[in-house]
Structure 1
Amino acid sequence: MMQKKPKILVLILNILVFQLGYGVNNPHGKQNADVIIYGGTSAAIATAVQLARMDKSVLIVCPEEHIGGLSASGLGFTDLGNKKVIGGISKEFYQEVYKHYQNEEVWKWQPKDEYGNVGQGTTAIDDQLQTMWTFEPHVAEQIFEKFVKENHIKILRNKWLDRENGVKIKDGKIVSITMLDGQTYTGKIFIDATYEGDLMAAAGIGYHVGREANSKYNEQWNGVQKEVFHHGHNFGDRKISPYVIAGDSTSGVLPRISTEDPGEQGEGDHRVQAYNYRLCATNAEGNVVPFRKPESYDPWQYELLARVFESGWRGMFGGGKIPNNKRDVNNAGPFSSDNIGMNYDYPEASYERRKEILEEHKNYHQGMLYFWRTDERVPADIRKKINSWGLAKDEFGDNDHWPYQIYVREARRMIGEFVMTENEIMGRNKVDQPIGMGSYTMDSHNVQRYITKEGYVQNEGDLGVEPEQPYQIHLSSILPKREECSNLIVPVAVSSSHIAFGSIRMEPVFMILGQSAGTLAGLALETDNDIHGVPYKELSMELIKNGQILEYNVE
């Protein structure tokens, strides 16, 4: 291995690079770094931190103004699985959360000793590991910004990749990427840390959108799954008519119900699991911003919800409790915040079209909350309860208290050197080059809402299949095929099937994969290898040295 530069020398070089190459007075010139990261997700921050610790120059270029992705945008009720396989920088993040909430002064809206210590079926505050797994959005953002500051990481925000002409490739390598504002960034290695896989796609890497057929990878849970009900997010045996006039198929179909054929059991399709916003809601007096009426409010959009209530449904918020009398609000029940079927275009859509989709999702969600608050078809006890809740006044202050980031549960998924499938998740196939571990349920939210042959409404695609043990994630699932590109790493839109991604897509795992991506890039630079040529033994030793967990020992 090449000898590392002394840290003080690297610091001086980085300062000079920033002054000479990253100057604000150079708006249309080229800016250089060893590694260019596109995206501002939690994985992007973990990648950058690892590279900085390896004394590599790194630059984050991202569309976001606020970093951290979903971890800092409402998803504070962490999807955990087995927390013993969360190590490295990912674990450090949750240790920072723990440190923050040890201070009694941060408990402004409830006493610390009144906070329920349960999150996703496990202990939320773990004194033994000194980790905390539930948190407020602004706390997460503060921690990511702290990581950035401590490691002298440069971030250029509000930078949007020119997806049509902005990726320059020569001899199978990305040479530079250019933003819509004309700014160009050159590097030796590039990281796509976006949820959407935009850089990957613009570089011509193969990918998939939607569900593969079960036959593609010899899976059970990937394709169409009609009448499979693993959670309560379906109509079950409720016989609710989808028609404008109940029972009359000639009267038209209610909003937000597809009239398309749902497909044959197990076959693949283009459909993507539903997105929603993970609201930070509260009922703490003095911190409540009432759910407001959107300008485009149309109560007819929620006629199906009214019929759900008439059927006896009494649910309200999903998600779970986070500190300071707040709640990370998630989907719950057959008609909720998941905007089923309205995101199919999103993964490959233009920026303009994505903006329309995001606005539609926001209007839908705000309208549903207002419907709950005001419509007389909503049971009075539900209306009374929800009117005591609202958005948290001390969150997302520059965005009308609405989350910055929609929950992109899946978009593009790379078809790389190795494709993770349910067979690896369930332990049927061995992974011989692990770079981290996952353990959460293979979780897919609903993919479509359709009309059954019997003439009733039903949801499809909501699954939860739990692996028996934590599983290993293959190195080559973050690597494009060598012949497609030899200097791009993809730790978020990873190479996996739809159902396998349902487990991998958890924020703690994205941070794990981000750190592993950074380690791989750093070693490639030190040994003058391309990313596919770094010896796995050397990589695994470096990962373990830095706290990554590559295998699980049953106690």
Structure 2
Amino acid sequence: MVKKLLLIVLFLTPITLFAETIRTDVLVVGGTASGVAAAIQSARSQVKTLLIEPTPWLGGEMTAGGMSILDANPKLSSGIWAEFRKRVRDFYKRTPGYDTTSTAPLKFEPYTGAAVLKRICDTVNHLTLKLNTPYLTAKRDSGKWVLTVLIDGKEATIKAKVLVDATPNGDIAALAGAKLVSGFDSKQDTGESLAPETASPIIQDVTWIAVVKEFEKNAIYLMPKPAEYDPARYVALKTKNIKKMLEEGRLPNNKFQIKWTENTYGTSVAQMSIEGRIAYYKTLRLHTLGLVYYLQNELGFRNIGIDDSEFPSSDHLPFIPYIREYRRSIGQTRMTTREIYTPYVNNLYRTSIAVGDAPFTQQYADPLAPKINYPPMPAYTVPLGAVVDKDIPNLVVTEKAMSVTHLVNASTSYPSVQMAIGQGAGTVAAYCAFFDLNTKQLDVRKIQIEATLYGSMIYPYADIPQTDRYYRAVQQVTGTGLLKQVQELNGNKMDVVFKPDSTVNTADIKPIMLETYTRAFIWFGKNKPAETFAVGDLVSYISDHTLTDPKTLKNMMQRQWHDYYKFKQPFDMQRPVTRYEFAVLVNRYLNPFARSVDVTGKIVN
């Protein structure tokens, strides 16, 4: 036995001696939508960043998974998501029939999306990218993250200060020992009125997408019959309008995304596990190939087939499936539907690092899955604590494994939302690495300011464009709660608006001002403003707070009202102040966003 152990040690010693060790500040594992955005933002924040991805492509499910029609967040296009969106649209702007209207879904060929992301990454300083790099182990050692990976088939060690799990399945968080949950949460557990009474392990279905091409009309482009082919799986297609279904998935250059019921499959936590998914994925690929074969041979679409130039996989299907959910981590905070429908039920809105508006989707083959009747959904904010593991220092988690409830995951898992979340997560990781801190020491306001400096939207408004000269002032004052977002039902949708020309109610701002400013109770007790807050009230409060002579301040503001601030309404001390005027002046003179808040949104004295 001793001789065998000695031989093993001697055999392994050369590998250990010559294994490469790479050191970085931030390590992002997973080139998904969120992973790419996190890595780009971390590097742009002047932090040495390494991004590794097991497949040959960047983009995760929206490229390597073929999910290349994105209809969420078009009105909330900001930051790296806006950059990606613009580059894709610029690439296709001369393509006949390509829709370039501002709110149109973003459509692209998967390999084009992957190439665009690669091109962006290649231009970012402080960012190193390694594709085709599987990960093996992850652990913390002496306050650092240590991962073993395979680079060009050889084992290597990566050491990092901060680790971002941006894998589609939360695999790195699991390897690191994070606590993970799956399935429906109970109403008792989350407090969500929409949640079922009892928890359930059921998770949403998986789709293995196919991207097919329409070849010349008289061409016959038949594929071999795949193994395990069973036409009974697809017989329901005989009663459907296939041309319409193909058209709904149209991509540029005569290609179509097939994401139908017939290639969407019920799944379980066991099948999605690292041990179970290899065999499971093989079966799903064969079933999707069978769908294309059925389309050609049973339905007569003989000139439509899989384009072998799209995916360089052995069967030319996407590398990975489109996964709607699997497992979720336990974060410093957990995002629930309350933060979407009633954002002011707590203070988490103050910690927002991203926005989203993807409609809630439900895809369950299991007939026992609870049916959720979601009300019209407003655009929402994502709290910082949802991407930070509760127990493990310097572990940032995105994609389906971020800390949300099962109900919320039905929206936040969407790729364009994840790209926005990833940018926020990258800002968190860069903050910890740059200041040599851990995720128990987060300065929420510094992280938010850094994110907005790079174009992130942290509060969604349909009526304040990002080009507005005081857009940041509106965002920051919203982040304090002094002015709140307004939800307005618009048909079957819920718009989130700022209502810049409406007036400010004293009852709305007084509690936050008392919470934010120590001397506010003296001013309110002395001045007793009316039901609507007037321009004169605001000037008086600013004078009191800044110790500026009231008459001097009034004269200065009157001179600057139109020429400098470009306000539309006249300067009138008796007139109720508008929300827009209030946001601009409060942000400049009172700077409430400078007040620190913790990860729960509570003001820190």
**Shorter-chain TM band:** 0.7 to 0.9
- Hey, what does 2:80 align to over in structure 1? 89
Shift of 1:309: 5.8
- Hey, what does 2:320 align to over in structure 1? 405
- Hey, what does 1:470 align to over in structure 2? 379
- Hey, what does 1:230 align to over in structure 2? none
- Hey, what does 2:157 align to over in structure 1? 184
- Hey, what does 1:448 align to over in structure 2? 366
What secondary structure does 1:183 align onto? strand
Question: Residues of 2 paired with 1:304 and 1:147: CA distance?
Answer: 41
Larger Rg: 2
2:59 equivalent to 1:136: no
Aligned residues: 438
- Hey, what does 1:497 align to over in structure 2? 405
Asked if the contact 1:293/1:366 (under 8 Å) is kept, the reply is no
Asked if the contact 1:289/1:390 (under 8 Å) is kept, the reply is no
- Hey, what does 2:30 align to over in structure 1? 39
- Hey, what does 1:436 align to over in structure 2? 354
2:76 equivalent to 1:76: no
2:258 equivalent to 1:320: no
Asked if the contact 1:222/1:497 (under 8 Å) is kept, the reply is no
Correspondence for 1:347 among 255, 259, 272: 272
User: Residues 175 and 517 from structure 1, CA distance in 2 versus in 1: closer, same or farther, beyond 3 angstroms?
Assistant: same
What secondary structure does 2:306 align onto? strand
Shift of 1:298: 3.5
Larger displacement relative to structure 2 (526-535 or 391-400): 391-400
Overall identity of the aligned pairs, in %: 22
User: Residues 33 and 499 from structure 1, CA distance in 2 versus in 1: closer, same or farther, beyond 3 angstroms?
Assistant: same
Question: Residues of 2 paired with 1:205 and 1:288: CA distance?
Answer: 53
Question: Residues of 2 paired with 1:464 and 1:219: CA distance?
Answer: 13
Asked if the contact 1:486/1:530 (under 8 Å) is kept, the reply is yes
Letter in 1 for 2:249: G
User: Residues 369 and 284 from structure 1, CA distance in 2 versus in 1: closer, same or farther, beyond 3 angstroms?
Assistant: closer
CA RMSD of the aligned region, Å?
2.9
User: Residues 359 and 291 from structure 1, CA distance in 2 versus in 1: closer, same or farther, beyond 3 angstroms?
Assistant: farther
Superposition pairs for residues 3-42 of structure 1, below 5 Å? Answer: 28-42=19-33
What secondary structure does 1:445 align onto? coil
Asked if the contact 1:63/1:158 (under 8 Å) is kept, the reply is yes
Superposition pairs for residues 108-257 of structure 1, below 5 Å? Answer: 112=96, 114-115=97-98, 117=99, 125-126=100-101, 133-152=106-125, 153-162=127-136, 166-170=137-141, 173-179=143-149, 182-223=155-196
- Hey, what does 1:547 align to over in structure 2? 455
2:428 equivalent to 1:520: yes
2:48 equivalent to 1:57: yes
Shift of 1:196: 0.7
Shift of 1:144: 0.9
Asked if the contact 2:76/2:355 (under 8 Å) is kept, the reply is yes
User: Residues 156 and 368 from structure 1, CA distance in 2 versus in 1: closer, same or farther, beyond 3 angstroms?
Assistant: same
- Hey, what does 1:228 align to over in structure 2? none
Question: Residues of 2 paired with 1:421 and 1:284: CA distance?
Answer: 46
What secondary structure does 2:431 align onto? helix
* Structure 2 unaligned residues grouped into runs of 5+: 1-15, 464-605
Asked if the contact 2:166/2:397 (under 8 Å) is kept, the reply is yes
User: Residues 449 and 337 from structure 1, CA distance in 2 versus in 1: closer, same or farther, beyond 3 angstroms?
Assistant: farther
What secondary structure does 1:520 align onto? helix
Question: Residues of 2 paired with 1:37 and 1:550: CA distance?
Answer: 22
Shift of 1:447: 4.3
Question: Residues of 1 paired with 2:290 and 2:370: CA distance?
Answer: 24
Shift of 1:399: 4.0
- Hey, what does 1:390 align to over in structure 2? 305
What secondary structure does 1:465 align onto? coil
- Hey, what does 2:588 align to over in structure 1? none
User: Residues 269 and 292 from structure 1, CA distance in 2 versus in 1: closer, same or farther, beyond 3 angstroms?
Assistant: farther
Asked if the contact 1:441/1:465 (under 8 Å) is kept, the reply is no
Shift of 1:132: 7.0
Correspondence for 2:290 among 358, 367, 378: 367
Shift of 1:146: 0.2
Question: Residues of 1 paired with 2:219 and 2:323: CA distance?
Answer: 27
Superimposed CA distance per residue, residues 447-472 of structure 1 (whole angstroms, 9 cap, x where no aligned partner): 4157xxxxxxxxx5676736442001
Superimposed CA distance per residue, residues 110-153 of structure 1 (whole angstroms, 9 cap, x where no aligned partner): xx1x34x3xxxxxxx236x9x97111112101101101211153
Superposition pairs for residues 287-298 of structure 1, below 5 Å? Answer: 290=221, 292-298=223-229
Question: Residues of 2 paired with 1:464 and 1:399: CA distance?
Answer: 41
Letter in 1 for 2:69: F
Asked if the contact 1:88/1:547 (under 8 Å) is kept, the reply is yes
User: Residues 298 and 410 from structure 1, CA distance in 2 versus in 1: closer, same or farther, beyond 3 angstroms?
Assistant: same
What secondary structure does 1:210 align onto? coil
- Scaled by the length of structure 2, what TM-score is found? 0.67
User: Residues 448 and 543 from structure 1, CA distance in 2 versus in 1: closer, same or farther, beyond 3 angstroms?
Assistant: same
Question: Residues of 1 paired with 2:255 and 2:119: CA distance?
Answer: 23
What secondary structure does 1:84 align onto? coil
What secondary structure does 1:63 align onto? coil
More helix by share: 2
User: Residues 516 and 287 from structure 1, CA distance in 2 versus in 1: closer, same or farther, beyond 3 angstroms?
Assistant: farther
Asked if the contact 2:212/2:305 (under 8 Å) is kept, the reply is yes
Question: Residues of 2 paired with 1:461 and 1:338: CA distance?
Answer: 18
Asked if the contact 1:294/1:363 (under 8 Å) is kept, the reply is no
What secondary structure does 2:69 align onto? coil
Which structure's relative contact order is higher, taking Cα pairs within 8 Å and 6+ residues apart? Answer: 1
Letter in 2 for 1:151: V
Shift of 1:190: 0.8
* Structure 1 unaligned residues grouped into runs of 5+: 1-24, 118-124, 224-265, 376-382, 451-459
Shift of 1:178: 1.4
2:273 equivalent to 1:358: no
